[in-house]
Chains A and B, each alone.
Chain A
Amino acid sequence: MQIEHFEIMQFLSAHPPFNDLSEDALKQLASEVEVGYYRARSEILHYGESIANLYVVRAGSVEVYRRNGELYNRISEGGLFGQRGLLMNRKVRFPVMALEDTLVYCIPVALFEAFCDEHEAFADFFEADDSGGLIQAVSDQADSNDLTTAKVRTLLLRELVSVELTRSIRDAAKLMTEEQVSALLVYDPSKPVSDDPEDDDGQIVGILSDKDLRIKVVAEGLDTNQPVATIMTRELTIVDSNAYVFEAMMMMLRDNLHHLPVVHKRRPIGVIALSDILRYESQSSLLFVKGIMEQQSVEDLAHYAQSLASVFVRLVNEDANSHMVGTAMSVIGRTIKQRLLELAEDKLGEPPVPYCFIALGSMARDEQLIVTDQDNALILDDAFEADKHDSYFAALAKFVCDGLAQCGYKLCDGGIMATNPQWRLSASDWQAQFEDWMDNPKPEALLHSSIFFDLDGVFGRTQLASRLSELVAKKAKITPRFLAAMASNSLRRTPPLGFFKDFVLEQDGEHKHSLNIKRRGTAPLSDLVRVHALAIGSRKQNSFERLEDIKEAQLLPPGKVEDLEAALEYIAMIRIRHQARQIEQGKQPDNNILPKRLSEFEQRNLKEAFAVLDKAQSYLKIRYQNKAILK
């Protein structure tokens, strides 16, 4: 017997999205409701706790906060809250507090989901909520993460220790000893502080470290009465106090910096050290990276790398966004390569000529995930003579590629590895190769080699890699036929949406009813973003950073870049969570997702994301291919 709670039914029937429901549906909802009363100023939802209800404000009003305490929304009678947490991972994303004495009706999550599945208008309401449910869903995800929300300034635990550039080296050394710091910021108080952040680095003019004292002063017998300006390091990477901890961490990891000066409104306020971040992110992938460098043999390294999967799962469970997961996995992969190369040099001796070991594809884009091939190559100094030196590099490449395979990075099916003599070239030969690809682009040929257009120096003389990226950035944008060929390649893989916007799934074989979310989703998206990035001469490699450049260049119609960002993030997160779930279930992670296993919401959002890709591909076709035909 179903009881008619007509007070509740009547109320719901007067408010969207319940007003479109049939009487029977309302009766069902009302009969399952739980009712709760909250006194003014009492907490209703606490950040991070699990959430099992959709809340309807029956009387009173509530305030919804962002995690940083900022007011996000005020909801009064008839309004809803809690839906974001239900849609994402059933954790409270936005804490809620009763503003007045408040009565809420709580709808259990199982019923909420059943209603979304059965009543289209009801589901649409939540999807359309706050304009662009997909973008919102994605940004909520970002909001919830500590590393992406915490600002650099939160790491500054001590007062700034700095010295004027006119002070003597001796004074500086004394100050460092007294303050027990290993680095000092050097500033010039007479420098005007401009409001334009692009202008320069403000008053900070250099940094002085223990190392400078050792190398430039003691070893050289320099007069310590000289001003610090004579020995400070002038080329600085500086971070703004409002930057995110995550950004600072990446700056330090990428450029191998141990100290990062922090400025606020262009005035120095402190220095953060890598150890500050390590302390901050206690159980992190960074510690894992540190451990890699401590492994003493390939066997140890391979053994250590076995826990890579759990590092990945932990990141996912900590709500890292796809950029963070991708970057962390890439940094880890890069570090493993670096350690392998050190071990290789230990074994094989000093290299006969300088070289640069490069990463290609997803690792170079900072988009590596857990299922990945190794794609790599070697750039050799122009002093390289094949008959004299190649045996060394062949052995080095074999050592590293075999080692990577032992660490779980599969050998590349396409043979894009440093072990392949074709991809072990001198800097000039590489340059010629890239110029040839761009001057004589044939889509078929580029299909194989487009992977080279995401490249990153990992070890050795990394300037060799930078010079190649510079060449590509300068030349690609003025070579429309090349862009057309790349565009044509990127259109070969289409999103898996049918004419009626249903998923097109594998019909048979091992992966029946599944779709390959990499081949049909993340890969065509990053291909597409790469074409636009090449067209504007961007030197960024990461797809999100490329999109930022694309937005700045106003290459695409308004709103399109945001759509692409949201689509990429959404598809990547579905892929990442799928792999994390498989690992947790003890399965071998892959890229084949079963849409049926996704909730109705995830399916809708995923279709929307694929539709964004579909539209973007049509645009790409018009933009680059027509031009090429005219040529």
Chain B
Amino acid sequence: MAMQGDILSWPNRFAHLARQSSDERLRAFYTAGVQAPDTPVSQAQFVALDFETTGLNYETDDIVSVGLVPFDARRAYCRDARHWILKPSTPLHEESVVVHQITHSQVSEAPDLDAILEELLACLAGKVIVVHYRHIERPFFNQALMQRLGEGIEFPLIDTMALEHRIETNRLTLWQRIKRQPIPSIRLADSRKRYGLPYYVAHHALSDALATAELFQAQLQHHYTQHTDIKSLWM
């Protein structure tokens, strides 16, 4: 349990940011707070989040679509899912179009992130954000807001890829570790396969978000108990 006054704990950090932030929407997001770090996973509210981007460099690339699916340990709720296509601040590269199949004409009619930010943050507020591969959503989101508001964003998140890495590493015997035997692929589709989850077409923000939510549910059932607390999973 995080100590009272622990400046590094997420609840305290959110309280601090709620006071500091100059953007009303961000203030609302921080004011909603984070779930108590010792909340058991069976009680926690999650939201799976996925971005498609124009490229992999958060300093030069931008977000083209956002998908999110709220869920808990039992169910993922499609009716509360959201999906937006956005107009990025940097042009679409041909290579990225091949990946996410979002076309120039689609983005030319799409809104800027700023226009949907209030709704997006409302969907995320008070929930534990779950992503697969943490080096996309958090830095891209932070950078995109920096650009637009002159202020970034911080939040705890659970990374199903990191969890999978931990799980697969723990499976290795000492000898295998000494031999540096590689662990199996922990990419989203490959990880899902190990849990009997079906193949979903990748690189659609909404599908990937749902795929991530399902993967996390599976990981919880196989490797954790309902008493596991969220602070042991988030980073």
Contacts and interface: CB of A to CB of B under 8 A. Distances in A.
Nearest to B83: A3
B210 A7 contact: yes
A100 interface: yes
B207 A6 contact: yes
A37 B78 contact: no
Interface stretch (A27-35, A434-442, A534-542, A551-559): A27-35
Contacts of A8: 78
A228 to B, nearest CB: 63
A42 interface: yes
B214 interface: yes
A2 to B, nearest CB: 10
A42 to B, nearest CB: 7
A5 interface: yes
Interface residues of A, number: 27
Given A37-B218, A39-B222, A59 B198 contact: yes
A386 to B, nearest CB: 77
A82 interface: no
B214 A3 contact: no
B179 interface: no
B183 interface: no
Contact of B195 (A5, A6, A7, A101): A101
A200 interface: no
Contacts of B74: 36
Contacts of B71: 35
Nearest to B208: A7
B76 A35 contact: yes
A238 to B, nearest CB: 51
B197 A32 contact: no
A91 interface: no
A58 interface: yes
A59 B196 contact: yes
A30 B221 CA distance: 24
Contacts of B81: 3, 5, 31
A39 B221 contact: yes
Interface string B15-59: 000000000000000000000000000000000000000000000
A7 B207 contact: yes
A5 B213 CA distance: 14
Given A37-B214, A103-B214, A58 B83 contact: no
A108 to B, nearest CB: 9
Contacts of A40: 196
Contacts of A35: 71, 75-76, 78, 210, 213-214
A4 B75 contact: no
A27 to B, nearest CB: 11
Given A3-B81, A8-B78, A30-B78, A36 B196 contact: no
Given A39-B221, A102-B196, A103-B214, A4 B78 contact: no
A42 B206 contact: no
Contact of A101 (B75, B78, B82, B218): B218
B123 to A, nearest CB: 12
Interface in A39-80: 39-40, 42, 58-60
B180 interface: no
Contacts of A4: 83, 206
A59 B78 contact: no
Contacts of B83: 3-4
Interface in A1-16: 3-8, 11
A31 B82 CA distance: 10
A38 interface: yes
B78 A60 contact: no
A11 B210 CA distance: 14
B206 A5 contact: yes
Contacts of B210: 5, 7, 35
B174 interface: no
Interface in B166-224: 195-198, 200-201, 204, 206-207, 210, 213-214, 217-218, 221-222
Nearest to B211: A7
A3 B77 CA distance: 12
The listed residue with most B CB atoms (<10 A of its CB), out of A4, A11, A37, A40, is: A37
B13 to A, nearest CB: 31
A333 B75 CA distance: 51
Contact of A37 (B82, B200, B201, B221): B221
Contacts of B207: 5-7
A42 B200 contact: no
Contacts of A32: 78-79
B206 A34 contact: no
Interface string A602-616: 000000000000000
B218 A5 contact: no
A37 B196 CA distance: 10
A525 interface: no
Contacts of A455: none
A596 B198 CA distance: 42
Given A7-B207, A38-B221, A103-B214, A33 B78 contact: yes
Contacts of B206: 3-5
A109 to B, nearest CB: 14
Interface string B147-159: 0000000000000
Closest 3 CB pairs of A and B: A101-B196, A35-B76, A37-B217
Given A36-B74, A103-B214, 14 more contacts: A5-B207, A6-B207, A30-B78, A31-B78, A31-B79, A33-B79, A35-B76, A35-B210, A35-B214, A37-B195, A39-B221, A39-B222, A101-B196, A103-B197
15 contacts: A3-B82, A3-B83, A5-B81, A8-B78, A30-B78, A31-B78, A34-B75, A34-B76, A34-B79, A35-B76, A35-B214, A39-B221, A42-B221, A101-B218, A106-B75
Interface of A: 3-8, 11, 30-40, 42, 58-60, 100-103, 106
